[in-house]
Structure 1
């Protein structure tokens, strides 16, 4: 909610976040990956089963897409890491209507890059699209092997 009492047109509620460690790990290991000069994006469909072969029971079917942000300590001190998180979340919040639904996205910055809003905003949607395509093509390859 904004200070004026009205709702923001695009929000980033907890239901739109990847929060569990197992969900991060699953996206990083099995998701499609795409990178540019400043970001690396991993995309994984919601319906990908866990190691035991079943989809996660707590995944909400109503959530269009979810974002997880991971910032390594090598990126910088807490101020720098928090700036990265704020900028990535804002790029997601502003562009979530343009992103393919049904995916978990995990985003991290590349090494030795300074957080720059213009670079993040410019490449975010393109990177997500590439990661989704790669995720789908890897799923197609694995289904033909079975």
Structure 2
């Protein structure tokens, strides 16, 4: 069975706090009533094709552990299933908007749109 590009391997994750801080401080930002997305362009990857990396930050004020983990799962799944709709060679840091409720349809709709908007702000 051919392998799909819809995985969420370690190469697609931002795990370093330094990298997350760099994207938060130096990237473009866009928000709606559900998510806040920070985007920073990254140098084009070598022969591995376009790379998109995701970091998720969920403040403790968002809710208890169950709610925070639900946010993380939904954001990661939206990223995983919509990678082809996202701009290539970007690093994303996503966090929920204060007071928002984790809803799959809203997250799925917001992520690609906010990513493109934030990337435009980072470039210009």
Q: In the alignment, which residue of structure 1 is the partner of 2:87? A: 100
Q: Does 1:115 align with 2:115?
A: no
**Structure 2: runs of 5+ lacking an equivalent:** none
Aligned to 1:37: 33
Deviation at 1:10, TM superposition (A): 1.0
- The equivalent of 2:60 in structure 1 is 73
TM-score by length of 1: 0.78
RMSD across aligned positions (CA): 1.8
1:52 matched residue in structure 2: none
Deviation at 1:111, TM superposition (A): 0.6
Task: Spell out the pairing of 1:1-146 with structure 2 (5 A cutoff).
Answer: 7=3, 10-47=6-43, 61=46, 62=48, 64-137=51-124
Give unpaired runs (5+ residues) of structure 1.
48-59, 138-146
Higher CA-based Rg:
1
Greater relative contact order structure (CA < 8 Å, 6+ sep)? 2
Deviation per CA, 1:39-83: give whole Å up to 9, x if none.
000001124xxxxxxxxxxxx644511000000000001110000
Q: Aligned pairs, how many? A: 122
Write the distance in 2 (CA, Å) between the matches of 1:9 and 1:22.
27
Q: Residue 108 of structure 1: CA displacement?
A: 0.1
Runs of 4+ in 1 over 3 A off after TM superposition: 5-9, 60-63
Q: Compute the TM-score of the two structures, normalised by the length of structure 2.
A: 0.91
